[in-house]
Structure 1
Amino acid sequence: MQITRSRPGLATDLVLMGVALVWGSSYLVAKDLTLAAPVLVVLALRYAISAVALGVVCRRAHVRVTSVRELAVGVLLGCTQAAVLTLETFGVSRTTATNAGLIISLTVVLTPLLDGLWRRRPMPAPFFAATAVAVVGVALLVSGDGFRAPGWGDGLMLAAAAVRAVHVSLIGRLTTGRAYGSLTLTTTQAVVGAVLLSAAAAPELGRTVTHLPPAAWAQLGYLALACTVFAFLAQTWAIRRTSPSRASLLMGTEPVWAVAVGVTLGGESLSVVTAGGAVLIVAATYYGQHVERNHRLGALALAPAPEPAERLTSA
């Protein structure tokens, strides 16, 4: 019985690590794209391609919205998701990689804090010690060029970290125990993002699309299909099978993958300091998982048996 339960946990962790990997690689791709097109245009096209791809998948799988509440949840999550990506993209374009990487890592601290407040079950002190070490690791990881004076980009990244924590917590809060389809929720979020950002980018969208080179379209395809369709679908699926706090820690390895992609594909160098930061993040994530798992299992042992609807959730 213990072996049967451990396999889903490992699968969920691997999926979340995969999300961290593709998101880590997205920084290099997005950086190039923002040089070829305005930020809002990049986001609008990314969401549009994602919405079309997910619509095709839903049609082939005969998936549809089953209730007004499910649609409302998808719309709300679509708004928070679009806000996260918009703030992140504008923030990264207006600040240094050092400050951006450090500030966005605060999601690791903010998510369990919000989750604990909503559930009225705060995390134990060792968990916050682990997240503090992870933040220090990120600081070392991205401090190759040193710190600079805070600017508007830093404020946008701080807002992105806060909204991302809200988004991750909302997924767990609104979908746990509900028979919502992860594909339905993800498609709804993509459609909402495509509508909102296409409207925002409308003044520049038409003339920019006709001048985008093939390489830019390939990069948009990667951002849409790997970093959006796969990542958000996998994130929604995985968070519903674990806790937002655990998911945040696993996805907190995103800067590690960003450095790995930068070194292997972007020709960047890895110093002793940045390598030490990567080690700290991995170690803190592993220890934080251990603390969070024991805390969650202890709470489950005291909680009543789950409702049958919890078994009906589908990917």
Structure 2
Amino acid sequence: MEHVNVISLLSTRRIDLVLIAVAAVWGGSYLAAKVLTEQASVVVVLGLRFAVALVALLAVWLVMRGRMPSHREWLVGGILGLTQASILLLETAGVAVTSATNAGLIISLTIIFTPILESLAARNWLPRPFFIAAVIAVVGVALLVSAHGFQAPNFGDLLVLAAAGVRAFHVTMLGRLTRSHQFSVITITLVQMLVGTTIFIAADAPGFVRAALGFGLAEWLGVLYLGLACSVFAFLAQLWAVQRTSAARASLLMGTEPIWAVLVGVSLGAETLGLVGMLGAALIIGGTFWGQRIESRHRGAAAPRLEQPLVEPVESR
């Protein structure tokens, strides 16, 4: 029995580390996206990002001898592709207007939104302290966007806030649509990339071609980072992990994303927060992590669900 518990603990730690790695990669994506949107439009940058990811995933799929998606995989992948494209459109459009640091911190409200959506779906309401933690995080956002004097959030801040809401919906739906089915992680993600690539290239095909031919080495390094690290690795890892834990825990563990976003924005992007902004950042991070602990205890007190892989391993495809 003790041996089984150790294996279970190691498996949980592995899932946690994968989700934290996703958070670290995404934390650096805001500065990369901001730099690229200074050279091309938002839809062109996203078209390049999805196209790079699509080509890389297609190569992996062919090497792994993946089978054609089933009707349900086309449906689920298509739905998730639409929501993922919506998230990235809102995030990238937002970060083009606000700072990379603000975007990375505001998007962390996903950590608050996701457990609320999941509890509504499961009809298992969260305890009152969780909502106190949520209020603390929201106050932190108010301070963050008013770092240079109290003011309304700018349009970019509001777009990123909307992205946080859509991401919470996406993560919750991702777990519910895939948890009880033997889906291939890579096949589902490949369909998502195909949907996103089609949408954004169709939106501005001439701009896509001009950017693809005109970008220099620095811009292409940014595109490759967004396409390979932030899309291929992150989407596959997120889908793999969320099927082995709760959607709420997945978002909560990826709550380290704002810390990485701040580190990258301040150290590499030369962005500043100011005293009020630093207080807001501290409240956001503190509120979300407190919310994480409350949600974890609440879920632990509920009836345990079976811990077993619910995705057919890609290697067996």
Give the one of 102, 107, 110 matched to 2:113. 110
Once residues 261 and 117 of structure 2 are traced to their aligned partners in structure 1, the CA distance between those partners, rounded to angstroms, is 26
Aligned sequence identity (%): 51
Q: Please state how far the C-alpha of 1:144 moved relative to its aligned partner.
A: 4.3
Q: Please state how far the C-alpha of 1:215 moved relative to its aligned partner.
A: 1.0
Alignment pair present for 1:235 and 2:238: yes
Structure 1: gaps spanning 5 or more residues: none
Pairwise mapping of residues 102-251 of structure 1 onto structure 2 (< 5 A)?
103-137=106-140, 144-251=147-254
Specify the SS of the correspondent of 1:252. Answer: helix
Alignment pair present for 1:23 and 2:35: no
8 A contact 2:104–2:261 mirrored in 1: no
Once residues 174 and 251 of structure 1 are traced to their aligned partners in structure 2, the CA distance between those partners, rounded to angstroms, is 20
* CA deviations over 1:59-115 (Å, ceiling 9, x no partner): 111223452112210111001000110111112223455764564333222211211
Once residues 299 and 248 of structure 1 are traced to their aligned partners in structure 2, the CA distance between those partners, rounded to angstroms, is 19
Once residues 20 and 29 of structure 1 are traced to their aligned partners in structure 2, the CA distance between those partners, rounded to angstroms, is 15
* CA deviations over 1:40-76 (Å, ceiling 9, x no partner): 1110011000000011111111223452112210111
Once residues 193 and 273 of structure 1 are traced to their aligned partners in structure 2, the CA distance between those partners, rounded to angstroms, is 38
Once residues 145 and 256 of structure 2 are traced to their aligned partners in structure 1, the CA distance between those partners, rounded to angstroms, is 13
Alignment pair present for 1:260 and 2:259: no
Q: How many correspondences in the alignment?
A: 311
Q: Please state how far the C-alpha of 1:231 moved relative to its aligned partner.
A: 1.0
Alignment pair present for 1:67 and 2:66: no
Structure 2: gaps spanning 5 or more residues: none
8 A contact 1:28–1:262 mirrored in 2: yes
Which residue matches 2:298? Answer: 295
Once residues 280 and 11 of structure 2 are traced to their aligned partners in structure 1, the CA distance between those partners, rounded to angstroms, is 30
Tell me which moved more, 81-90 or 11-20. Answer: 11-20
8 A contact 2:148–2:276 mirrored in 1: no
* CA deviations over 1:105-134 (Å, ceiling 9, x no partner): 332222112111112122222333334434
Tell me which moved more, 255-264 or 18-27. Answer: 255-264
Specify the SS of the correspondent of 1:106. Answer: helix
**1:7–1:146 Cα change, 3 Å:** farther
**1:189–1:156 Cα change, 3 Å:** same
Q: When the two structures are superposed, what TM-score results if normalisation uses the length of structure 2?
A: 0.87
Q: Please state how far the C-alpha of 1:281 moved relative to its aligned partner.
A: 4.9
8 A contact 1:15–1:234 mirrored in 2: yes
Which residue matches 1:314? Answer: 313
